Structures are given as structure tokens and as C-alpha cells.
Amino acid sequence: MTTGSLSGTVLDRIVEGVREDLAERRRAVPLTKVQRAATEATPALDAHAALQGGRDDTSGVRIIAEVKRSSPSAGALAEISSPADLARSYQAGGAAAISVLTEQRRFGGSLADLDAVRAAVSIPVLRKDFMVDEYQFHEARAHGADLVLLIVAALDDAQLRDFLALSHELGMHALVETHTVEEIERAMAVGARIVGVNVRNLKTLDVDVDHYSVLAPHLDDSVVRIAESGVRSEREVADYAARGADAVLVGEALVKHGDATAAIRDFRAASRP
């Protein structure tokens, strides 16, 4: 089984731009140099351990707090003058991990943001990008990522299997993102241990927060369950927690809040069983 055609979708256009930008970085820094930097980097933190068990934790679900400047759906979100300071505020609020957008064209991210966040915090860091080439995984580890994103809709079965294995070989974990029952089945088939359900359809950018409750029953109890997108307030976080999420990934609601530390504390408090 392979992923269906993405021609003409938002995801397709994003991936096209990612490949173009990647080609430029590859010309500037050869794969062998990036691989060497990855092997010399400080060993990755255990993101799986940091995220698991949130559905049963009396202190509330885990929060993956995102450093996110803009998005294709909402445009510019916030002026983030210091990703490091924002990351510190996330950690102070009790975030279990920090997601850093590194895609530059539509999300305004960069590897420099990843470097700044990695240097500022002691919790796992996710490189959130559209991972479509082996180079990016060595690059992620070289820049200190502990976790990478694998979007099932953007990968065929061979890529999904090989990229998951490569992530583990480099000492990282992978958040395997799904949006349909079929994609969950594909994630399970390759042995994914951390599975996300994104309630935003990346092909159309439509959001349906109830979509998590439709897909959650199809997730194996052995995997760490991540609810992605759709969070506007404590209500959505509490709802995801009630439906069995171990962790909730929150971006826009945090960068626009004004007091990210307090927001994360409130999100966790609202999700307590």
C-alpha cells in the first residue's frame, strides 16, 4: 500500500518547496558532513518516556508546546523575537516537550530556531518539518532534535518504514502523524510507538476537533497517543484527555496567549482525570 496522489493539495505544494530548500542546503553542506555532526551531537533525550502515560497522570496530560511563527491556514501568528525565551517559558509551565517548526516558506521556521531552543531547555525537542529525505534526519540530530515528525500522508510505506528505522538508529523517536483509519493502520504496520492524530487535514487545512474521537479507538493501547491541532482553550485539551490522549500538541493558542507559562499550567489542570 502506498500513499495516494497529493497532486494539487496544500501538502503537495509544501513538500515541493521543502525539497527545493533542501536541495540548497545539501549543496551548501554535503551529507557526509551532516552525518559526522549527527554522530558528534549530544545523545538524544528519551521523548517516548517524556510523553507516555499522560492519559492516566493525575497532574494532567503532557503538553507538546510549539514554537510557531506562522501557518498556511492562519498566516502570521506571533512575532517571536527569542525562541529560546519562549521555550524557557514553556518548560517553566510544565511542557513535556517542545516542538520547533523548521519549515521556512509557510511556517517561518528555521534550523536556527531549533538550535536556540535546544540550547535553552532540558526537555525533549521535536523538529517539526516535512521529512521526505534521509538528509533531514541526520540534519535534525546534528541540530539536537530528540524527536522528528513523520507525516503518513506524505510518505509511501517503504519511506515510512525506512525513516522510522533511521530515526531510531540515530537515537531519536518519531511522532508518526495520521489523519485517517488507513493511515493509523499503516503507522501500526511499521511499528510506530508514538502516533499522532491531526484533526487538521493537511490536504485541505480543514479542522474538525471531533475527528480525534473518531480515530482514537483505532489506536493500539501500547502506543503513546498524541492529539494535534484544534486547541483554542482548556476545553479542547480536556476533551482530548478525556478521549485517551497522552499528550496534546499546542501551537497557535500558546504563541498568541501572552503568558505561555500560565497557559500550559491551565491546560494541564483542565485535563486532570
Active-site position among 103, 139, 177, 236: 177
Does 228 participate in catalysis according to the annotation?
yes
Residues 6 or more apart whose CB falls under 8 angstroms from that of 131 comprise 137, 140, 148, 149, 150, 151, 163
Angstrom CA distances, 114 to 6, 58, 256, stand at 28, 31, 20
Active-site position among 70, 71, 99, 198: 198
Does 201 participate in catalysis according to the annotation?
no
Write out pLDDT tens, residues 155-204. 999 999 999 999 999 999 999 999 999 999 999 999 999 999 999 887 77
**Tens-digit pLDDT profile for the chain (273 aa)?**
334 333 468 899 999 999 999 999 999 999 999 999 999 999 999 999 999 988 888 989 999 999 988 877 777 778 888 999 999 999 999 999 999 999 999 999 999 999 999 999 999 999 999 999 999 999 999 999 999 999 999 999 999 999 999 999 999 999 999 999 999 999 999 999 999 999 988 777 788 888 999 999 999 999 999 999 888 899 999 999 999 999 999 988 898 888 999 999 999 999 998
Does 68 participate in catalysis according to the annotation?
yes
Task: Give me the DSSP letters along 100-125.
Answer: EE---TTT---HHHHHHHHHH-SS-E
Active-site position among 71, 89, 229, 271: 229
Q: Which domains does the chain have, with CATH numbers?
A: 10-270 (3.20.20.70)
